[in-house]
Amino acid sequence: MRKTIKTDNKARVSGSPRAFLLPCDMDKDRITLEEFSCLSLEQRAQYLLSFGCRMTTKLFPKFAFTLYQMEDFFVEVIYNKEDNHIQSIEGFYDTEYLMGYVEDFPINHIL
């Protein structure tokens, strides 16, 4: 189950280092999930383009679901292909939600 955390409308950049799960370019200041959730849809999209690590995309006839990794949380972008716009950008911590994406990851190099 996905859990999105909402707080007040103040977003601030935090410079404290955090652990990350996958090797991405994570050497710049980052915000928390709580801060990310306070941003507008446009601001979330810009932040993902600047700091997110795209992991995979699942394509369906009407929608595309793209998973990003941030430093200490994940983000799912739902793109409406019929209307040609981003429908939602939601962050989450719960790794159980990643199970829907696991089949897309190549693991032959691990075996």
Each residue's pLDDT expressed in tens, for the chain with a length of 111 residues? 333 333 333 332 333 223 333 344 444 567 999 999 999 999 999 999 999 999 999 999 999 999 999 989 999 999 999 999 999 999 999 888 888 887 666 655 555
36 and 73 Cβ atoms separated by less than 8 Å = yes
How far, in Å, are 24, 34, 51 from residue 27 at the CA level?
9, 20, 9
At residue 74, what are phi and psi to the nearest 5 degrees? -115, 160
**May I ask the CATH architecture of the domain 33-102?**
2-Layer Sandwich (3.30)
**Prediction pTM value:** 0.68
